[in-house]
Amino acid sequence: MNVFIADACGFCYGVRRAIELASHAASGTHTLGPIIHNPQVVARLAERGVSPVASLDEVSTGEPLLIRSHGVGPEVYEKASEKHLQVVDATCPHVKKAQQDAKKIIEKNKNLIIIGEKAHPEVISISQWGANRAIILDREEEARALPHMKEAGVVVQTTFSQEQFKRIKAILESKVDDLEIDMTICTATQQRQQAAIELAGKMDAMIVIGGKNSANTGRLAQVCKEQGCPTYHVETAAELDTAWFRGMKNIGITAGASTPDWIIQEVVKIMENLQADATEVMSEELLDQY
């Protein structure tokens, strides 16, 4: 069995930056929601005294607050300032740009359309910068159901699938006379998706590593499946079932932008051991033939 790792996978710039800021943050720092969608990383930081809270009401006056890479709406900054919190802003610069683009579209008095998952914290933050007036959609049928519009501006969730974006964009072009598109899918996501697509096209199976609650990891699994490749999404090496790979020759590995290197390495190690086992089994089978 041969094991291949995607050319681009694992921590992206924005997540690495957020984790570095969190690692250097003082014990007692709160993050508004889990710092990234990876339970193992969140647990490690909690051991160092950097832990998530669900709302600013749980943070006392003057305490340190770290804003995660997904970003937050303007009212959080206002409330944090009223409470004199020591804010460390780890919002990814790509997310900041999407937030500002949404704000500008609303200031121009255009309809704002966000292509992304309604419940995702990044999309919620972009929508809040767009004065909570956005139409949010992520499926083609939702785009088809829109009424005809004179003008609208589009902002895209940074981790959205390129392919799905193109399909929705084509529908929006037929619905809106004057359509402004701010293509805010970030290059890290594009590179990871492209590398996953290329690898999945050549593999017997793909392993996608990352939080089950991570949107970008879910997208990687989705694009691999779209290549017709059997795809297994695991959070850690402990979830791997060696029976999945029985009789297979080439296995590809990729990981979401919020998956730390140590978890990727654990999976690679197991697959390498499996490789050794498979070689042994193969030798035994060959011996049986004599």
Active site residues: 122
**Shortest distance, CB of residue 286 to ligand F3S, whole angstroms?**
46
Find the angle CA(174)-CA(122)-CA(158) to the nearest 5 degrees: 55
Q: Are 152 and 145 in contact (CB under 8 A)?
A: no
Q: Could you write out the DSSP letters of every residue in 120-135? A: -HHHHHHHHHTTT--E
**Shortest distance, CB of residue 179 to ligand F3S, whole angstroms?**
23
Residue 40's CB: how many other CB atoms inside 10 A? 13
> Tokens 């297994």 label which residue?
232
**Shortest distance, CB of residue 215 to ligand F3S, whole angstroms?**
10
Q: Is 70 annotated in some ligand binding site?
A: yes
Instruction: Kindly tell me the number of DSSP H helices and DSSP E strands found in the chain.
Output: 10, 12
Of 69 and 125, which CB lies nearer to ligand F3S in the complex structure? 69
Segment holding 275, helix H or strand E: helix 261-288
Of 94 and 110, which CB lies nearer to ligand F3S in the complex structure? 94
**Shortest distance, CB of residue 36 to ligand F3S, whole angstroms?**
8
Quick one: how far is CA 249 from the chain centroid? 29
Q: Is 250 annotated in some ligand binding site?
A: no
**Shortest distance, CB of residue 258 to ligand F3S, whole angstroms?**
8
Helices (H), 130-186: 140-144, 162-175
Range 12-15, long-range pairs (CB < 8 A, 24+ positions): 12/186, 12/188, 12/189, 12/192, 12/257, 12/258, 13/92, 13/188, 14/69, 14/92, 14/93, 14/94, 14/95, 14/186, 14/188, 14/257, 15/69, 15/92, 15/257, 15/258
Q: Is 37 annotated in some ligand binding site?
A: yes
**Shortest distance, CB of residue 61 to ligand F3S, whole angstroms?**
30
Q: Is 229 annotated in some ligand binding site?
A: no
Of 59 and 154, which CB lies nearer to ligand F3S in the complex structure? 154
Q: Are 66 and 29 in contact (CB under 8 A)?
A: yes
Of 111 and 157, which CB lies nearer to ligand F3S in the complex structure? 157
Q: Is 69 annotated in some ligand binding site?
A: no
Q: At 164, which amino acid appears?
A: Q
Cα–Cα distance measured from residue 210 to residue 289, given in angstroms and rounded to the nearest whole number: 42
Of 217 and 231, which CB lies nearer to ligand F3S in the complex structure? 217
- The binding site for ligand F3S (CB under 6 A) comprises 12-15, 69, 92, 94-95, 158-159, 186, 188-189, 216, 257
Cα–Cα distance measured from residue 117 to residue 175, given in angstroms and rounded to the nearest whole number: 21
Q: Is 148 annotated in some ligand binding site?
A: no
- The single-letter DSSP state of residue 148 is P
Of 14 and 130, which CB lies nearer to ligand F3S in the complex structure? 14
Q: Is 224 annotated in some ligand binding site?
A: no
Q: Which residues are annotated as a binding site for dimethylallyl diphosphate?
A: 37, 70, 120, 214, 216, 258
Q: Which residues are annotated as a binding site for [4Fe-4S] cluster?
A: 12, 92, 186
Q: Which residues are annotated as a binding site for isopentenyl diphosphate?
A: 37, 70, 120, 214, 216, 258
Q: Which residues are annotated as a binding site?
A: 12, 37, 70, 92, 120, 158, 186, 214, 216, 258
